[in-house]
Structure 1
């Protein structure tokens, strides 16, 4: 696992608060610090599949779950919640709503996060539901203690958002939960990629893999262009997988939705791999997923298979692609984005 994040370093200053407690850990954490605490029991809920896989491998004796929301087993006998604030405020509201709806009254709740991610908004977000107190500020992070006087109401139906997408003659409805990329509207990179695919429909055939499927925009469009394809959608985010599943269902599209860290849980070869790959992990620039996608794609492409991705123009994609593919073409571009086709 990586070195302790600033948020975990702040928690480390208060280890005595967690001795002998039955703890549930949730939110946007990226290390295993909480599993090193001397607690009566520590349960982990992950919304990121790669983190879940790493922790499950190292701590097979612990209750570690992956999904949009924890199961009842995570809440059983829990008297303390450690919540790592995510980069997206709406995602934090969503996660805290279901957590505080299921935790027993009187549960000690500790919220920690980086100030630049908006953790300070926890003060106004929770003040009407109980007593919240800042107990530390360090490493550009804040740590709060909260005790709920009443449970928060939660109905997941109220958290789903839907928008309509019209491209060419296609009319598609996109469903999504908080925390998913392009949640409110189609991003400009995906728009450019989709229009490039509409202009090159012969690319969409056979087995098609959407890496980093998000809310299912790319998957839904390619399946509508050619309904005969075998569609596979992968992502590391639990809310992304749930959103893609719902988008496919809403539009009457058949497809397999799989939790996978790029190719970690994928088998077989594909005629087309499409992606609008992320280049951020939290607030930081991170090319690891991109580099894995490009470096390993050839092993998952069928004969004459192609990789089609969109990227910000300033990112070093062409160089990375040229290191692994014989031919790399730019099939669409604007001042900000380029669509690459490699084979």
Structure 2
């Protein structure tokens, strides 16, 4: 995360704008520029635990990781720099949260890659500020405006709820599975049997859908759910609560906060970082899994059929099996010998 994203490159070209400002950075903070861009004082908020880990050495106590931005976080700030997220609903949630708290007259900067939909920021925020493009480079755009009206913000109005069979799913914007059950997770769920038991770790839990289905047929399973996304943590907790299911839910960058061993690790691992394909997360999930499994413990993951996971599974475990597959996805199982 030391290589600058295109969004940070365009911000660094305009560094002189920020030198006398008290800047609040938020949104998709994928690199360390917010930590070393020269300002009068910098603060940051992220919903992504791994971004918090990267930026914490630069900010100390002036960076916050949680779902919601609060008045206390913003009380010294006169400028917002928002890195546009690839999810429009998530951007709307985060921007309305922050703009509802900043004083009228605050300067607002929004930056993002054009293909991420950043052009839509002008229309989305038109009732609160008049954004104008002030720079464009590397297929990125930087917009500036002055806050004219505080939007109303109620986090509860952003919940999405839907039901699959008897299971209630709850989700905030930006969480994988927000609108419904994806085909990969559905295939993974189809491999679960009644009366499974033992300790199970669900990595990248999202809405909590995979764990909820497992608990619905095997209520004796001892489940732990982790994710890097604060909105996913809140969503999984709400899903378990709505179904009266037990389970421990907490933030972790893969295994960074995991201190236990399990009989099974389950996951539908991401293969994108922002807008780019990136297999590093899935590879690390696989390579480190044996440290967190009991002997004869199992890693079970679902992946797009074209992804090259068999070799890394064999290199790590010495074995792999395809439990089920279709035209698009495969469910792999590897056993710690």
What is the TM-score when the length of structure 2 is the normalising length?
Answer: 0.97
Aligned-pair CA distance for 1:201:
3.7
Rate the CA distance shift 1:314–1:234 in 2: closer, same or farther, 3 A.
same
**1:175 corresponds to which residue?**
170
Looking at structure 2, the residues matched to 130 and 45 of structure 1 have their Cα atoms a distance apart, in angstroms, of 21
Q: Are 2:300 and 2:332, in contact at CA under 8 Å, matched by a contact in 1?
A: yes
Aligned-pair CA distance for 1:333:
0.7
**1:188 corresponds to which residue?**
183
Looking at structure 2, the residues matched to 326 and 62 of structure 1 have their Cα atoms a distance apart, in angstroms, of 44
Task: State yes or no: 1:236 paired with 2:197.
Answer: no
Q: Are 1:205 and 1:272, in contact at CA under 8 Å, matched by a contact in 2?
A: no
Q: Are 1:42 and 1:62, in contact at CA under 8 Å, matched by a contact in 2?
A: no
Q: Are 2:86 and 2:117, in contact at CA under 8 Å, matched by a contact in 1?
A: yes
**2:32 corresponds to which residue?**
32
Looking at structure 1, the residues matched to 126 and 220 of structure 2 have their Cα atoms a distance apart, in angstroms, of 53
Alignment of 1:210-221 (within 5 A): 210-221=202-213
Aligned-pair CA distance for 1:205:
1.5
Pick which of 220-229 and 274-283 moved more.
Answer: 220-229
Q: Are 1:173 and 1:247, in contact at CA under 8 Å, matched by a contact in 2?
A: yes
**2:84 corresponds to which residue?**
85
Classify the secondary structure of the residue corresponding to 1:128: coil
Q: Are 2:89 and 2:174, in contact at CA under 8 Å, matched by a contact in 1?
A: yes
Aligned-pair CA distance for 1:62:
4.6
Classify the secondary structure of the residue corresponding to 1:109: strand
- Point out where structure 1 has 5 or more consecutive residues left out of the alignment: none
Alignment of 1:1-343 (within 5 A): 1-56=1-56, 58-59=57-58, 61-166=60-165, 171-197=166-192, 200-201=193-194, 204-343=196-335
Pick which of 115-124 and 14-23 moved more.
Answer: 14-23
Q: Are 1:26 and 1:82, in contact at CA under 8 Å, matched by a contact in 2?
A: yes
Looking at structure 2, the residues matched to 300 and 131 of structure 1 have their Cα atoms a distance apart, in angstroms, of 51
What is the TM-score when the length of structure 1 is the normalising length?
Answer: 0.95
Looking at structure 1, the residues matched to 19 and 286 of structure 2 have their Cα atoms a distance apart, in angstroms, of 45
Classify the secondary structure of the residue corresponding to 1:291: helix
Looking at structure 1, the residues matched to 244 and 145 of structure 2 have their Cα atoms a distance apart, in angstroms, of 44
Aligned-pair CA distance for 1:60:
5.4
Aligned-pair CA distance for 1:124:
1.1
Looking at structure 1, the residues matched to 213 and 8 of structure 2 have their Cα atoms a distance apart, in angstroms, of 41
| TM-superposition CA deviations, 1:270-297 (whole Å, max 9, x none) | 0111000000011100111101111011
Looking at structure 2, the residues matched to 226 and 173 of structure 1 have their Cα atoms a distance apart, in angstroms, of 17
| TM-superposition CA deviations, 1:197-219 (whole Å, max 9, x none) | 1xx346x3111100000110011
- Point out where structure 2 has 5 or more consecutive residues left out of the alignment: none
| TM-superposition CA deviations, 1:54-84 (whole Å, max 9, x none) | 221x225351110112233211121000000
Classify the secondary structure of the residue corresponding to 2:60: coil
Looking at structure 2, the residues matched to 100 and 54 of structure 1 have their Cα atoms a distance apart, in angstroms, of 25
